[in-house]
Structure 1
Amino acid sequence: MPSPVEIPYRSFIVVDRSSNVPVYLQIANEFIKAIQRHALPPTTRLLGTRSLGQLLAVHRNTVVSAYDELAAQGWITILANKGTFVSAKLPILASPALQRHHYPSATGFAFKRSSLLDNPYEHRNYAYLFNDGTPDIRLTQIADLSRVYSSTMKRKSNRKKMDYYNHEGSEYFKTQLGDYLRLSRGLPIASSNILITRSTEMSLYIISEILLQPDDIVVVGEWGYFSANMIFQKNAARLKTVPVDEEGIDIAAVRKLCETQRVRMLYVNPQQHYPTTVTMSAKRRMELLQLAQTFGFAIVEDDYDQDFYYDKQPMLPLAAADQHGMVIYVGSFGKSLAPGFRTGFIVAPENIMLEMRKHLGIIDRQGDVLMEQALGEMIEDGVIYRHLKKSLKIYRERRDHMLAILKSEFNDCISVRKPAGGLACWLQFTSPVNLLQLSRNCAKSQLFLPKTILYQNKDMTALRLGFGHLDTQAMNESMAILRQHITALL
């Protein structure tokens, strides 16, 4: 057992005078770490308060306060006329180490690893970048958002809501959202048919937890949304792909699959198929609903870009025509707003909604009552509609500008479909190009092409280029770099 004067206190106690943590607590916390690391084993006698204060260049009363805190927590025992000791009640463990502690670089236990859930998103600090189609937060009406959110926080009637929050969601917001969805998407729903989530991905996760068992078959488009596919496979589901053409997913292929195997779920984006942007035809929509009823599989309809439509009114969702409870409708609200003001939602029959609320209560019990209150007021006051109207005009101009550049500068090597909505264009190369090499070459010119927008197999080479986040100058410069490096590879 070392003498109190032999313990190298200054090797493991460092006082930070600039910290907001009181000095006595800093000293107490360092002692606790040393005891937990077994550097100070039970019954070790500690230096007196005056001597330790001199050693650490702090007032004796500071050390007294630190020792009192340690004693109160049970780490040390202070014996009158005898001294201060590390508590004898603590377990004796081997491998003492007095050197300053560094957080371990790896766990001391085994755990399950998943390459399937590796983050597909990439971020680079380049001058220019393309993405798969995101809004421009610079268009957000910050003044309106700040006003509504600030008034919501100050309102006395909301204080009780902040003290207790029902994880099933704000009834006020669900009522307003229900009105919004009835008017904009023709969904004949009540607030009891709505579940508020943090994002589309959380919605899909909850649905998968309820519907999918290992080896269940989930049908997706041949090209599909990577995050959704990851979530389904996380539940050990087997993905079966079907072709996607100008009218959406191939219903004949779905029927053929159903005739030979039991399909549990079909995931689809009928308004704007991800990534190709095609809209499913009315005929195929009706055929898909009939097929689901015949074979008993669930349709998960992800309406991720419904708010961004330019040339005509969008077709109503599948869920609006569903009379047999076969469709679970997933969407996001406030996508055109700043990221912190966006939320996800699920629309489904009440019986499955009961199970969904149970799962939401586990992973997101508290929710965000203030945000939901603010969003509800923005719907009721018409702020959302005004903001969408302004932003849609700008996004339509950006879409048309990108299409004009593609037609004039890329017409010899790329074919493009004019998207009726959404924030991205689908570009198909007329001749194969190594897209990974293209991405590396563009990076040298400060243009970032993430892997999530690159699509290539033996039959097709394509890009999903988002235009929503680019103003005219950034788009011109980005497209010029892209053209330069495509030309070099052809």
Structure 2
Amino acid sequence: MQYLSSSLDIDKNSAQPVYLQLASQLMALINSGTLQSGQQLPASRTLAAQLGIHRKTIIRAYDELIVQGWLESKPGSGTFVATQLPKINQRTLGDCSALGKDALKHAGFAFVTMPHLQRELTLPDNGYHLDDGLPDARIAPLQELSSAYRSQMALGNPYSRLGYGDPAGAANLRTALSSYLNETRGMQTTAANVLITRGTVMSMYLACTVLLKQGDLVAVTDLSWSGADVNFKQAGARMIRIPTDEAGIDINALEATCKKMPIRMLYITSHHHYPTTVSLRADRRIALLQLAHQYGFILFEDDYDYDFHYENKPLLPLASVDPSGMVIYSGSFSKIISPAFRVGYLVGPEDLIAELSLLRRIIDRQGDSILENAIAELLQNGIIQKHLRKSLRMYRERRNVFCELLNGLQNYVDYKIPEGGMAIWAKFDPAIDLHDLSAKALKKGLYFSNGNIHAPGNPAFNCTRLGFASSTPDELEKSMMIMSNLLKAR
């Protein structure tokens, strides 16, 4: 069977052992019908000589397939394709290297692709970045978190500490987080009101899956977070856009919509509206809660960067003054520590949290209980709170430095100093091609979004978020120098 060796493609430089390569390719030949049930294979010595490999490698591959039932050995006769295998229509013997390659690229069955999932994935690794509003991981309490994590690994009963836990999250973190939210946000929760998740995206997915059905109407602001939009589309909901202004969502427009059609849910970033950073005014907060109670719609409050407010004390969330149980409150530690640490939380009525926990159990079972307990330890010891005080001062300084630098570009960029958050909402002159500017900046080592994520398909939108928190004052100055040079060279 000289022809068989020509159908086997052995790569001696591959990380996969040669015997496994050979066994896999022989299985593919059998499965394709090229090698038929009962057909004899070359002797190990013969095939080894043809392939230029050691005979023991051939024997090991044959033995592997014999154990798995693909081959059978007949003493005194040789090695054969197992006779109990079903007969497969024989195909022309060809280059085995092509077998299975197309199957790795294209499924052999039909499935529905979902266009709304096709979102741009940005993984910037440039030296300079004016990102979407991320924290500076260099100042995060990583040593303290690492120490707490090691302690959680070593202490306590390993069977319970390292085994399966509550899908709702580690009890220590739920209790510590409940106390923390009550102290800092004026809430009156218990651990039973808290569900620990992998972050806001998971919180939204769970809530949308449980609370929305096909065709439900969800209200979002005219400019909103694309991650929320995708979750609503995935749940089969329809979205309606409500305008916003310098004081947040337009309550009159929302009420007019409620009178015309039944809204099931409203997604709101009340503290620092995403992406524009404006805070929802107090009178509108009261009116919004009244509308939710009157028309019976759910308020999903995404408080993604509550802890970073610079001009005065943070505004208490809607969830802290919700008399009717209409608010679901979401937050995470991504903006406090780093996006790499996937720990978020969802706060709501006990019965809803219990139901969401049941759903979470079948898609993720539980989170990283060691990490959750470590973060609970940092909360209980006041380390998170100390880090927040430090980072608040630092981010305020960086905001001020960045705004001074932006003043030098007032002929090109319009903005308002944000009261809080980690980014500035920048409106570029219509004569500037923001997409082109972003692309040229990237070649110079500076990343910032071209704004397409905020207004897909509208290149004339010309607004974007410029994050300042993750860069030092020196890095901000160098970033703005790159942008300034590009703008002036137009």
- Compute the TM-score of the two structures, normalised by the length of structure 2: 0.90
CA distance in 2, matches of 1:202, 1:277: 23
Unaligned runs of 5+ in 1: none
CA distance in 1, matches of 2:121, 2:4: 49
The residue that corresponds to 1:244 in the other structure is 244
CA distance in 1, matches of 2:231, 2:288: 23
1:32–1:15 distance in 2 versus 1, CA, 3 Å: farther
CA distance in 1, matches of 2:403, 2:453: 19
Q: Does 1:266 align with 2:266?
A: yes
Q: Does 1:11 align with 2:8?
A: yes
The residue that corresponds to 2:95 in the other structure is 99
CA distance in 1, matches of 2:442, 2:18: 49
| Local SS of the residue matching 1:484 | helix
| Local SS of the residue matching 2:63 | helix
Q: Does 1:414 align with 2:413?
A: yes
Matches within 5 A, 1:389-400: 389-400=389-400
Shift of 1:431: 5.4
CA distance in 1, matches of 2:10, 2:94: 11
Percent of paired sites with the same residue: 36
| Local SS of the residue matching 1:232 | helix
The residue that corresponds to 2:117 in the other structure is 117
CA distance in 1, matches of 2:110, 2:450: 31
CA distance in 2, matches of 1:98, 1:185: 69
The residue that corresponds to 2:441 in the other structure is 442
| Local SS of the residue matching 2:360 | helix
User: What letter corresponds to residue 150 of structure 1 in structure 2?
Assistant: R
The residue that corresponds to 1:472 in the other structure is 473
CA distance in 2, matches of 1:176, 1:34: 59
Matches within 5 A, 1:25-424: 25-56=20-51, 60-94=55-89, 95-102=91-98, 103-104=101-102, 105-123=105-123, 126-407=126-407, 409-424=408-423
1:365–1:9 distance in 2 versus 1, CA, 3 Å: farther
Shift of 1:380: 1.5
8 A Cα contact 2:217 2:262, kept in partner: yes
| Local SS of the residue matching 2:117 | coil
User: What letter corresponds to residue 446 of structure 2 in structure 1?
Assistant: L
Q: Deviation string for 1:40-67 (max 9, x for gaps)? A: 3322211223444455555545443432
| Local SS of the residue matching 2:277 | coil
CA distance in 1, matches of 2:257, 2:470: 39
CA distance in 2, matches of 1:369, 1:34: 46
Q: Deviation string for 1:425-475 (max 9, x for gaps)? A: 112346554322333443454433323477577996432111112222221
User: What letter corresponds to residue 397 of structure 1 in structure 2?
Assistant: E
1:434–1:340 distance in 2 versus 1, CA, 3 Å: closer
User: What letter corresponds to residue 129 of structure 1 in structure 2?
Assistant: H
8 A Cα contact 1:45 1:86, kept in partner: yes
Shift of 1:292: 0.4
User: What letter corresponds to residue 469 of structure 1 in structure 2?
Assistant: S
CA distance in 2, matches of 1:266, 1:131: 27
User: What letter corresponds to residue 200 of structure 1 in structure 2?
Assistant: T
User: What letter corresponds to residue 74 of structure 2 in structure 1?
Assistant: L
User: What letter corresponds to residue 482 of structure 2 in structure 1?
Assistant: I
| Aligned pairs, number | 483
CA distance in 2, matches of 1:124, 1:327: 35
User: What letter corresponds to residue 447 of structure 2 in structure 1?
Assistant: F
Shift of 1:81: 1.9
8 A Cα contact 1:341 1:375, kept in partner: no
Unaligned runs of 5+ in 2: none
1:385–1:329 distance in 2 versus 1, CA, 3 Å: same
8 A Cα contact 2:224 2:275, kept in partner: yes
CA distance in 2, matches of 1:52, 1:36: 20
Deviates more, 1:448-457 or 1:320-329: 448-457
CA distance in 2, matches of 1:436, 1:301: 31
Shift of 1:141: 2.9
- Compute the TM-score of the two structures, normalised by the length of structure 1: 0.90
1:153–1:10 distance in 2 versus 1, CA, 3 Å: farther
Deviates more, 1:66-75 or 1:44-53: 44-53
1:378–1:452 distance in 2 versus 1, CA, 3 Å: farther
8 A Cα contact 1:28 1:70, kept in partner: yes
Shift of 1:130: 2.4
C-alpha RMSD of the superposition: 2.6
8 A Cα contact 1:40 1:96, kept in partner: no
CA distance in 2, matches of 1:299, 1:463: 26
1:174–1:82 distance in 2 versus 1, CA, 3 Å: same
| Local SS of the residue matching 1:45 | coil
CA distance in 2, matches of 1:326, 1:459: 38
CA distance in 2, matches of 1:318, 1:169: 24
User: What letter corresponds to residue 417 of structure 1 in structure 2?
Assistant: K
CA distance in 2, matches of 1:37, 1:12: 16
User: What letter corresponds to residue 71 of structure 1 in structure 2?
Assistant: I
1:73–1:193 distance in 2 versus 1, CA, 3 Å: same
Q: Deviation string for 1:260-287 (max 9, x for gaps)? A: 1111110001100001101111111111
1:412–1:66 distance in 2 versus 1, CA, 3 Å: closer
1:191–1:49 distance in 2 versus 1, CA, 3 Å: same
CA distance in 2, matches of 1:86, 1:220: 62
CA distance in 2, matches of 1:298, 1:204: 13
CA distance in 2, matches of 1:123, 1:441: 17
Q: Deviation string for 1:205-238 (max 9, x for gaps)? A: 1111112222211111111111111211222322
